[in-house]
Amino acid sequence: MSDLFAYTPDQVSRVTGLTRRQLSYWDKTGFFSPHFTGANRPCFRQMYSFEDVVGLRTVANLRHRLPLQELRRIGAWLHERYEEPWATLRFFVVGRQVVFEDPIGHRAVAGSDQVVLPVRLVEVEREVSDAAEALLVREPGQVAHITRNRFVQHNAWVLDGTRIPTSAVWDFHQAGYDRASIQKEYPRLTLADVEAAIEFERRRATTRAG
């Protein structure tokens, strides 16, 4: 399971190059709303799925070539025909035209039935996947640091920069795993992380017992 199942506006901004103001405006105007909305939105925050980020990266790429008004028109046309067009279709621009490749393989001009010749496409999903991986790189100050956030692992204590609860590390420790073996179970953790988690949970256990 990926460490990131949902993305905050700050993370989306870093991956797509769009500003938080743009994201908020597009959500309010209905041009592009996050996947987790209404009852599905954690604590009523904007939270985006991976497909959302792929779609927004696609729109951001097209935005450099076309005005937003044109993208709105194209988006409305595509949404009548596809469930998540910005994330599931492959796009490129020819002159002032947006061309897409649909699931059955032909390429057409968005907003019309015009079919075009094959053109090399940019793999936006791979771009987003690589950028998302970069979000997982931890800063030196996060190593061996324990924190919690109400939007991460139900507010459990975790190793900073990960979604790995200190309680999970403690469970392995209690089961007889040594530090190196625990680290093998969680390759993103350093031995310092493992040691910090064990000591943190040991202090918590002592406090509860007292």
Return the pLDDT at 42. 46
Q: Is 122 helix (H, G, I), strand (E, B) or coil?
A: coil
- Residue 91 is encoded by which pair of tokens? 């796009």
Identify the pLDDT of residue 108.
76
pLDDT for position 109? 76
In this model, does residue 44 exceed pLDDT 50? no
Q: Using a pLDDT cut of 90, give the percent of the chain over it.
A: 30
Residues 6+ apart with CB under 8 A from 171: none
* CB 152, CB 142: distance < 8 Å: no
Phi–psi pair at 67, nearest 5 degrees:
-70, 155
- Copy the structure tokens of residue 95: 């002159």
Mean pLDDT of the chain: 82
Residue ranges of domains in the chain, CATH in brackets: 9-135 (1.10.1660), 140-209 (1.10.10.10)
What does the pLDDT read at residue 39? 46
- How would residue 43 be classed by pLDDT, with cut points 50, 70 and 90? very low
User: Of the spans 9-13, 34-38, 128-132, 194-198, which averages the highest pLDDT?
Assistant: 194-198
- The helix (run of H) or strand (run of E) holding residue 135 is helix 124-135
